Amino acid sequence: MKPAGLALHQAARAVLPGGVNSATRYVGSPYAFVAAEGARVTDADGTHYLDYHAAFGAVLLGHNAPVVNEAVARALGGVDLMGIGVTRPEIELAELVTELIPSAETTISTMSGSEATAQAVRLTRAVTGRPLLVKFQGCYHGWHDSVARNVISPPERAYARDPLSAGLLDEAVDSTLIAEFNDLDSVRACFERHPERIAAVILEPVPHNVGALLPTQEFVEGLRALTTAHGSLLIFDEVITGFRHALGGYQQVCGVMPDLTAFGKAMGNGYPVAGLAGRRDLMARYESDVLLAGTFNGHPVTTAAAVATMTYLRDNPDFYHRTHRLGERMRSGLSDILGELSTSATVAGFGGVFAVYFTSGPVRGYRDLLRNDGDAYRVFHRRMTEAGFLMLPMALKRNHISGAHTEADIDLTLEAARDVLKSMHTEGLLPGA
């Protein structure tokens, strides 16, 4: 008899392209899920997993966090979707955003991070009257044409033209320039080649879409200075880093203020809510000639989830100390195991995020990641998942610790990782082994 999860996947294929609603959701077994609570999820065949995927990091407090579920239940009995005017929950959310994100003076709501970055790009072009955008190889900013290029590029297409999809408008793809993370000279070169043509530089402050590259302080401060000097705007895409690493996002950590900040994912603990915030004078263009539209923007249910999540984080400052401590426990433990095996690997991460690069360090930018052993990366994640620890079995994907994980969970995970890595070492699957 076929496993229940596989049967569900086959039923899905009859009505969904590929059987999934997002390209990276199909990774084979486990095929489908039926329950989630805290740090654990259950697949359709009744297998339990300790979850480190966390819906690409959207789940921050833990699955089905009571504080969020209770707020959503209350919202269901209140104002429904109006599509006109404004509601009190929308104002409460905006007040929290402007209170917590250091650079936020005013804000708008969207339903997804891709919508937030699309709004940011459009706004910067309107404000500056310039057509070009600079992004960094390895950073992902959503599915829209302007940014859907050069993420996990193979060596032959890295830094060259590497669109993520067929059907993208050529002019939009070619209006985005590619620079190297942690390399200010590569950004300067873009400005030199295209004087007074660059509207904005968009950056994942920590490029988590390729694991966990960490920026130098010189780099983020240099970007701020470069964009200001050239009359361009600086966009921080904090869709992943926002609320996960600090209450005010990574800009709070590094002390560098962007002109615009896109945010989402963890702010609603898994509910579809995101937004864009920034300087009042820039955001005021939404009151005149820049289109802001979206029937479900500020939806009362998703807004309630975000307000509950953000309020909890604000009122429980130890949350970040705890998840950062667990993250360091995981990273240190993995480093010790890999050191014992004398393999070429580097453990990276920040806060509650961790990733193992199967290459020798240091790892500063995407050029360093071209040395990563993608096969070893996928085998490690696959075998950890088979052992009951859910990790996305794709190269360069990060793992997340939520507020529901415990020290015992971390220790249990490290015991399993030791067994998996030892077996990979024995089989000659680790670089340098």
Give the DSSP per-residue string, 304-360: HHHHHHHHHHHH-THHHHHHHHHHHHHHHHHHHHHHHHT-S-EEEEETTEEEEESS-
Per-residue confidence (pLDDT) for residue 23, from 0 to 100: 87
In whole angstroms, how far apart are CA 94 and each of 99, 104, 301, 397, 428? Answer: 8, 10, 15, 31, 53
Distant-in-sequence contacts of 6-11, Cβ < 8 A, 24+ apart: 6/31, 7/44, 8/32, 8/44
Give yes or no for a contact between 37 and 63, defined as CB atoms under 8 angstroms apart. Answer: yes
Token couple for 201: 């530089």
Residue ranges and CATH numbers for the domains of the chain are 4-64+317-426 (3.90.1150.10), 66-315 (3.40.640.10)
Cα separations (Å) of 4 from 1, 7, 44, 427?
9, 5, 6, 32
Report which of 298, 376, 384 is spatially closest to residue 343, judged by C-alpha positions.
376
What does the pLDDT profile of the chain (433 residues) look like in tens digits? 469 999 999 999 999 999 999 988 888 899 999 999 999 999 999 999 999 999 999 999 999 999 999 999 999 988 889 889 999 999 999 999 999 999 999 999 999 999 999 999 999 999 999 999 999 999 999 999 999 999 999 999 999 999 999 999 999 999 999 999 999 999 999 999 999 999 999 999 999 999 999 999 999 999 999 999 999 999 999 999 999 999 999 999 999 999 999 999 999 999 999 999 999 999 999 999 999 999 999 999 999 999 999 999 999 989 999 999 999 999 999 999 999 999 999 999 999 999 999 999 899 999 999 999 999 999 999 999 999 999 999 989 999 999 999 999 999 999 999 999 999 999 999 997 6
Q: Which of 31, 49, 265, 312 is catalytic?
A: 265
* Per-residue confidence (pLDDT) for residue 327, from 0 to 100: 98
Would you call 336 a catalytic residue per the annotation? no
Per-residue pLDDT, 4: 92
The widest CA-to-CA distance across the chain, in whole angstroms, is 66
pTM of the shown model: 0.96
Token digits of residue 288:
């005149």
φ and ψ at residue 80, rounded to 5 degrees? -95, -175
Active site residue 419: no
Report residue 413 as tokens.
């995970």
Task: Say whether the peptide bond before residue 362 is cis (omega within 30 degrees of 0).
Answer: yes
The closest alpha carbon to 136, from 24, 53, 193, 219, belongs to 219
For residue 402, report the phi and psi dihedrals to the nearest 5 degrees. -105, 175
pLDDT score, position 129: 98
- 185 labelled catalytic: no
CA 2 to the chain's CA centroid: 34
Residue 433 pLDDT: 60
Q: Find the catalytic residue in 145, 162, 183, 237.
A: 237
